[in-house]
Chains A and B, each alone.
Chain A
């Protein structure tokens, strides 16, 4: 038979998202849109203290409040609901017990202390104010470096606040630094960020006592992994738990987790035999949904005078917060993996100390450890270029591996699949006319204007990942089924939550089967329907999940070809399949895939020993990660009097391999740059010295808004990968990774007349003004 995929009616084209009509009309169903008869509402009493002993909790008045059905505290459920799990398995990792409701002590502002169940959302919230808790405040440690050096010990049994020390890297770094002509070093801070998905978290749990079945609607990126964990936590057999991730309004990594509320609501529904719902408020979202980044460390680069890099060292403290959420300790290890950036660096070493602080846990936020690595490397490159008197573009180019050096082995233990870093950079440079730009910058500078050009070249690790490198499996699954009427159903174990795979997976399947796009329906996010899957994170859904769809479709076509040969009364070898039609030599009789599907279901005329039905499932295990890359260039002008930063141009050339749908890729890049820019310029989770969250609302936490963003000038290069048959690499996090250092590099470049080497993010105008005015 013919090979698949040569018919590309949809793949590679800007097909409009099939998800959008329902979403933009407000017809989608998020957790809060699902209403069950008799549902009750939960509100939480959360800790107002960052660290305190709970001497007593008096719920009497609250129990008598109007509409209250039940109240649960930590001691009510002790031993009956398992602790919040962490999947990270690092050597020597200290794992504090993380009860779903605080027991004896609280460790961060926002930690759940008691849950009120009532007949309405208002009654539940009102009753929270009637619970009396005698908190005895304890000493607080907020600063990660202070926590590492001692400070009040948060989890007493451990003796100190150090959760782990992680060492990564290959090569003799000390020798590299000893033989260097030039060493540059810089302390850098990656501030704490809040992921801020448009839809906050939300949970609806419904237990049916007769069937002993629990259905859990929750806004998650990982329905299957969550099902396994919740089943263990509440002691129900996993096959009696159905997790449904309905419409999910964004996650950015924050919903790649198992949260206390998900298990607790399940437990409450089992106790009360009623559906119970909790929808996170924005204030809860700011304080009790995971944060991201929060690393602080010293990065050093050893070079020869000609710019050749010899080695890199990064000594960093990671602020983990009070407890481990699902992947908290693992995030900084991703930083360690990506410290080679897109350069040949023979020796690399990272020593990361993960520390407990009295704050919400950090975990995966768009990029998850990789933006930190890219930022460190790209800032060092600019600092080194400045100190060596080499143009930052030339320094980068000098240290790129050439396209024929791939697969490229890094001193962090990775093998970059494919790349052409020169091509992406050249394209970006051409788009801005870099040489001319530097000339203009000189005359601008002479005229007293502060114009800066920032370049960032990045590589990222996507398609997470081979199972050996993942805590809970790195494969992905797909089932493709053709119904008797010829309609095609695709079930993916990935759980897209805004990325648009309902469209892109339909494009892939429609092309392979030669059917109309509208005849393909993609189902995801329901463990009662879809075979086990891993989920959507780490730019993996298309590269791993899409590949599973390809292989499942191939399996299905293979079976359909057997049936077609039978119907065409010829041998399988004589059958070709194109545009949805099987043709059989020698007399070129034809049968459509829809006719084959009907025959497969009627089953009255099938080849011997053929299973009826037309369905195939494939679990795809990737043999490697993928490594997309790109070059971002940002041009800024700084207002000398106010320190305000204006982005004059923003150019991004990204290479995510082959593109299934350019609209989706562009959307990912736009959103990614916006969030990367947010980190560079505006965003910062701020706790005060008592561990109180200062940025508890969107009036103080600056999520970038449309008018604060530049016009994006985008282009792509396309370097395929052989890691998967689609040749795709992933693009979910690229914008976030490439943009932050490009913007910071541009601002520092603009401030060169003031001799400034580095300013920590976010680059608030006041910081810039202080540099300019030497205050």
Chain B
């Protein structure tokens, strides 16, 4: 619980941060809200030579609307996303997910960008980010690139962000039907992380499902889109029967389930189907 020695840097521009990251190479860690990194340091699971605190770089925590896209700075805290009236109106799935993360202390310090890069397989954000088909903007010394949510989560604790890159922004298209969404999770009793969490964003036209994106977290070593469920829904009238049969496919994309003292893989698989059905019902108001 006592970290080893490290240099601390608090650059005030992205360029300065990138310089530092290039200087230290693999031997540095980027500090955002710190709710993933600090425990790792205190348990000495990581002992970087330097910690680069990007928290003082201005302009990385704003939430804005740019034509039909919502742009959220990587340093926006969970609490600020939960409290945003604009997101509550235009993209309640973000607000509702943010509200279910951790506890007030975690929500006040933890950031969207930091959580995504950490790629904890039981974090809440990946489900929503997948269901919203978000785009993640990263900056490196070579410039800027955009990573689609689908390509972002590579493996357990591994994202598509490369060494030498910083996540700067997350953007999502304003959903056609913002309220046709939900995030439901079963929380692990000690940590509050998701044993299973399912985020849903639907588009329903005259009772027929014309669009469906479903993100699943907690169940597998990496979060995923429940494409089989999405395909089963699309083009069909939303009924209780359809939801039940579609939700029963929500685990199909993941071969391997997480398995720990809190829940076996078998139970997680079962929960994934149950929670997917509940999340679909909540989103479709069925």
Contact = CB atoms under 8 A, between A and B. Distances in A.
Interface of A: 43, 121-122, 125-126, 129, 281-284, 641-642, 644, 681-682, 686, 694-695, 697-703, 705, 708, 764-766, 769-770, 773, 775
Given A702-B190, A766-B267, A126 B274 contact: no
Nearest to A681: B189
Interface stretch (B1-9, B80-88, B223-231, B235-243): B1-9
Contact of B271 (A125, A642, A703): A642
A641 B267 contact: no
Contacts of A769: 267, 270
A698 B190 contact: yes
* Top 4 A-B residue pairs of the complex, sorted by shortest distance between their CB atoms: A281-B1, A702-B190, A702-B189, A125-B2
Contacts of B274: 641-642
Interface string B182-211: 000010111101000000000000000000
B17 to A, nearest CB: 26
A125 B1 CA distance: 9
A106 B264 CA distance: 32
A708 B266 contact: no
Given A283-B43, A686-B261, A694-B261, A700 B190 contact: yes
B219 to A, nearest CB: 14
A694 B190 CA distance: 13
A770 B267 CA distance: 9
A681 B190 CA distance: 11
A151 B261 CA distance: 25
A281 B261 contact: no
Given A641-B274, A686-B261, A766-B263, A121 B2 contact: yes
B2 A282 contact: no
A121 B39 CA distance: 17
A702 B4 CA distance: 27
Contacts of A700: 190-191, 261-262
B68 interface: no
A357 to B, nearest CB: 19
B5 A708 contact: no
Interface in B2-59: 2-5, 39, 43
Q: How large is the interface on B (under 10, 10 to 19, 20 to 34, 35 or more residues)?
A: 20 to 34
B103 interface: yes
A122 B5 contact: yes
A699 B191 contact: yes
Contact of B103 (A43, A682, A705): A705
Interface in B226-277: 261-264, 266-267, 270-271, 274-275
Contacts of B191: 698-700
17 contacts: A122-B3, A125-B2, A642-B274, A642-B275, A681-B189, A695-B190, A695-B261, A698-B191, A699-B193, A700-B262, A702-B190, A764-B189, A766-B263, A766-B264, A766-B267, A769-B267, A775-B266
Given A122-B5, A699-B190, 5 more contacts: A125-B2, A682-B189, A695-B261, A699-B193, A703-B190
Contacts of B186: 642, 644, 765
Contacts of A281: 1-2
A763 to B, nearest CB: 11
Contacts of A681: 189
A695 B2 CA distance: 19
Contacts of B188: 702
Contacts of A644: 186
A694 B1 CA distance: 16
Contacts of A125: 2, 4
B216 to A, nearest CB: 16
A641 B271 CA distance: 8
A440 B187 CA distance: 30
A682 B2 contact: no
Contacts of A773: 270
A708 B1 contact: no
Nearest to A707: B103
A770 B264 CA distance: 11
A425 to B, nearest CB: 31
Nearest to A285: B1
Contacts of A282: 1
A358 to B, nearest CB: 19
Nearest to B186: A642
**Central interface residue in B188, B190, B264, B271, by most chain A CB within 10 Å:** B190
Contacts of A695: 190, 261
A43 B1 CA distance: 11
B4 A126 contact: yes
Contacts of A775: 266
Contacts of A702: 188-190
A311 to B, nearest CB: 38
A705 B189 CA distance: 9
A697 B43 contact: yes
**Central interface residue in A283, A641, A705, by most chain B CB within 10 Å:** A641
A697 B261 CA distance: 13
B266 A126 contact: no
A695 B260 CA distance: 11
Contacts of A705: 103
Interface string B144-186: 0000000000000000000000000000000000000000001
A284 B261 CA distance: 21
Nearest to A694: B261
A686 B2 CA distance: 24
